[in-house]
Chain A
Amino acid sequence: MTKILYSLKTMHLARLLLIFLTTLILISVLAPSSFLTGASFRSMAVQMPELGFLSIAAAMVLISGGIDLSVTGVAIMSGVLAALIMKMLGGTEASSTVIIPAILAALGIGCLCGLLNAVLVAGLGLAPMLATLGTSNLFTGLGIVLSKGSAVTGFPSAFQMIGNGSFLGIPIPMILFLLAISGMAFILRRTKYGFRLFMYGTNPTASFFSGVNNTRVLFITYTISGIVSSIAGILMVSRINTAKADYGSSYGLQALLIAVLGGIDPSGGSGRAIGLLLSIVTLQIISSGFNLMHINAFIKDLTWGLLLLLIMVWNYARQRKE
């Protein structure tokens, strides 16, 4: 049985790897001249991290057996806040040091948003779906109010470097994302918090009776989710040099789907960072490949949806067979 469960887990990873390789080869064959170029990989490495950070945020909460629908709301509000602070402190002309308070404020608000979710879920006992649906609207709305509904633009060049610069030829967002996903892997596999998170996600009642401080686990989880979401917001604003309250609002559900495709069990208690990484890389390849082949963006969405359904039906069929 363990072997089955283990092979199931690894099966899922193996399947993901298979899908990943298939798409990679398929796109390389179909559009070799444009896909297998440094430029196309660079553009993927720039686009992927934003959604990647949101997926990490969503995945952590999914492992706890909850759901965080407010990840984009947090990203938007943090991005708008950072943008406004930089604007206030001088905009394009300001010295590069103003990005420090801006980033700290963005991370701080992300942390506060996470704490608010935690208070609603762990403190008041609201259903995570309802609590975060509410706060999602609240955060997005605050973003709109703060920015007065218009685009905020014009930041010091040092800030634009975060989203557009590169180090040793690797885009900085990609480096940050790889660091974050490694951090997630470390948290899940090596920290006692990670262990408790898995136990809580599997059976909250049993973890309560086992002496796990459930409230604490939830507070840490939602706070991590908030902070990680705000990093996505900073990256987004930096890359396009604009903060806009309605930008990237469709990312939230995509982030959830990426997490599920990556093998994070939506009922809680299991999931691995490596699965998440494979899942997001695969979807980015499909997305970029379609762009390069000039395939309609709507077809792209349709393909994503089909792929996700396929994977889930596949998983389900396997589990039933066992």
Chain B
Amino acid sequence: MKLLPLQAAASDNYLLHGRLKGYAMDTLLEVKGISKTFGGVKALQDVDLRVEKGQTCCMMGENGSGKSTLIKIISGVYSPDKGEIILNGHTYKKLTPAEAIREGVQIIYQDFSIFPNLSVAENIAFPVLENSGARLLDRQKMRTIAKEALDRIEVTLPLDRMVEQLPVAGKQIVAIARGIIQNAKLLIMDEPTTALTYREIEALYRIIDGLRKQGVAVIFVSHKLEEVFKISERIVILRNGRKVLDSDAGTFDRTKTAYYMTGREIPVVPYDFILPDNNSRGDPILRVNGLSMKDAFTDISFSLYPKEILGITGQLGCGRTELAKALFGIGRHTGSIEVNGVPAQIDSIQDTRRYGIGYVPEDRLAEGLFLVKPLTDNITVSSIDKYGSRRLYHRKELITAADHWLKELEITAAGAEEPASTLSGGNQQRIVLAKWLATDPQILILNCPTVGVDIGSKNQIHEIIKDLARRGIGIIVISDDIAEILTVCSRILVMKNGKITREVDSVRITADELEQELISAADEET
């Protein structure tokens, strides 16, 4: 509530700023007093939003803040309980998806909703032909439509290539082109950069910029602060179903973002670990020497000491995930691995468990969790050997262990017998961590530990990681989130093309330098 005056000031400022810059201030979309309730939960409360033609607006908020609900209301998927939507001057109490498309609203979902088994041309032209009422397919026309769409965003793609053969960025371009050719006036993109490399993100920015010049407005949903400031003219932050901030990007104080999103101040305490000098440091818990894997990485060597948090960063496809998996016993590698100064034969996950190595995978839902199973089972699955006798166990023992970890990692859950699906992303990630902590690991490998986790839980998970390291576990954090790497890790390895190209203490490099390092990696690759 206290925020209200500031919010008003920010929007005034925006209008003034906008006018000065000389943008055409024709309103494309106006949402007035929208409220939406799902089974007693207020997803949106009295939200107003205005988007002008050709404006790029970034929408931020934690999971459950109401972003997706608002997007779905604008695109006609949900109808609001209260309020109205004005598109191109037409007022709607209830908007259908067909009406939204007619008014030029197009959404690019995270999975792009494309047909992987059809060609680029077919995917792009399909909706146009579908709406034309023609009963026969005109292949030539299809190609013309697709070509025209790609020209508008100044990209070339092989028209006859199956979409499933394209990289993620290519699929995204197909989805954008498909939206554009349907006369899009407002393009809504839901976390569009999640699976892209730096280079591809730059290309996406150029496309968005081009669209803006053609008068297409873009609403960009994102978690990543850096890109928000790079791309958008305006920032809207939702929290608990209310709009708490609507500001011009230029005048917005970025250090306040976390505060607006979570409603509380989050202090950032960097992890301070100084490697003892050569004489007193003792044996590393993990020493990797000349590790190589075909088509993934070559000649990787590094050491990890107890209490250390080592960051490995690099862009998508640099071999970081393969390296993490190799250390966890997945895939065939050459070279040597030593644990506590003793050569270790690591060929399977069962091997790595014996050496006390745990791995938190990147894809929490597919690789980490058993969603329908109780938290108890999720937490004890890797440490089941510890309980009961050799072959038998009592469920009570598992529940006791699970309760312990729920408390230890401050996991918010109604009880240990709740299924994992009921938890938020941040809490789910802690469950995966707990699973490995229950095995008493001495080395933990965390692959993108906070991907898809909202900013509040993110900081809490970072604190947990630091705390684990302080207790003597050696931790490797693999991530392309620069801010994360810099706050959590004490030492950073940069990977390019399957090789380590730089090693640096995190206190000796700034976020901008590290980002430059990654982008230059991308340039050398091509």
Q: What is the interface of chain A, defined by CB distance below 8 A to chain B?
A: 1-2, 5-6, 189-193, 195-196, 198-199, 202-203, 205-213, 269-270
Asked if A209 meets B367 with Cβ closer than 8 Å, knowing A191-B392, A198-B373, A202-B373, the reply is yes
B417:A2 contact, CB within 8 angstroms: yes
Nearest 5 Cβ contacts at the A-B interface: A202-B370, A210-B381, A209-B367, A1-B422, A210-B382
| A199-B381, A206-B366, A208-B349 known; A2+B393 contact, CB < 8 A | no
Residues of B within 8 A of A269 (CB): 370, 372-373
Q: Is A211's CB under 8 angstroms from B353's CB?
A: yes
Instruction: Decide: B367 and A205 in contact? CB cutoff 8 A.
Output: yes
Residue B384 interfacial (CB < 8 Å): yes
For B367, the closest partner residue in chain A by CB is: A209
Query: Could you give, for residues 407-430 of chain B, a 1 whenever the CB lies within 8 Å of some chain A CB and a 0 otherwise?
Result: 000000011011101100000000
B393 touches A192 (CB 8 A): yes
Contacts of B418 in A (CB 8 A): 1-2
Q: Which residue of B lies closest to A270 (CB)?
A: B372
With both chains docked as a complex, state the minimum distance between the C-beta of A184 and any C-beta of chain B, in angstroms: 15
Are A209 and B392 interface neighbours, CB within 8 A?
no
Q: Is the interface of A mostly helix, strand, loop or mixed?
A: helix
**Residue numbers in B under 8 Å from A202 (CB-CB):** 370-373
CB of A224, distance to nearest CB on chain B (Å): 14
Cβ distance B7 to chain A, nearest Cβ, rounded Å? 36
Assess whether B349 is in contact with A211, with CB atoms less than 8 Å apart.
Answer: yes
Q: Is B33 an interface residue (CB 8 A)?
A: no
Whether the pair B373, A213 counts as a contact (CB closer than 8 A) is no
Q: Does any Cβ of A come within 8 Å of B374's Cβ?
A: yes
B residues less than 8 Å from A191 (CB atoms): 391-393
19 extra interface residue pairs, beta carbon distance < 8 Å, beyond A2-B422, A196-B384, A205-B366:
A1-B414, A1-B418, A1-B419, A2-B374, A2-B415, A190-B393, A191-B392, A192-B384, A192-B385, A192-B391, A195-B377, A199-B377, A202-B371, A203-B371, A205-B367, A208-B349, A209-B361, A211-B349, A211-B353
Query: How many residues does chain B have at the interface if contact means C-beta atoms less than 8 Å apart?
Result: 35
Query: A1–B417 Cα gap in the complex (Å)?
Result: 10
- Distance between Cα atoms of A269 and B373 in the complex (Å): 9
| B394 CB within 8 Å of chain A | yes
With a cutoff of 8 Å between Cβ atoms, the chain B residues found around residue A203 in the complex are 366, 369-371
Closest to B393 in A: A192
Q: Which residues of B contact A195 (CB under 8 A)?
A: 377, 381, 384, 393
Q: Is B350 an interface position by the 8 A CB rule?
A: yes
Task: Give the shortest distance, in Å, between A11 (CB) and chain B (any CB).
Answer: 16
Task: Give 27 pairs: A residue, B residue, CB < 8 Å, sorted on A.
Answer: A1-B414, A1-B418, A1-B419, A1-B421, A2-B419, A191-B391, A191-B392, A191-B393, A192-B388, A195-B377, A196-B384, A198-B373, A202-B370, A202-B372, A202-B373, A203-B369, A203-B370, A203-B371, A205-B367, A206-B368, A206-B370, A207-B370, A207-B381, A209-B361, A211-B349, A211-B381, A270-B372
- Give the docked Cα–Cα distance between A193 and B393 (Å): 10
Assess the B419–A190 pair: CB atoms within 8 A.
Answer: no
Contact A206 B369 (CB under 8 A): yes
Contact partners of A213 in chain B: CB under 8 A: 350
**B53 beta carbon closer than 8 Å to chain A:** no
Query: Among B368, B372, B414, B419, which residue has its beta carbon within 8 angstroms of that of A209?
Result: B368
Contact status of A209 and B349, CB under 8 A, knowing A2-B418, A190-B394: yes
Min CB gap A281→B, angstroms: 27
A190 touches B367 (CB 8 A): no
Instruction: Using known A-B contacts A195-B377, A210-B435, determine if residue A2 contacts B394 with beta carbons closer than 8 Å.
Output: no
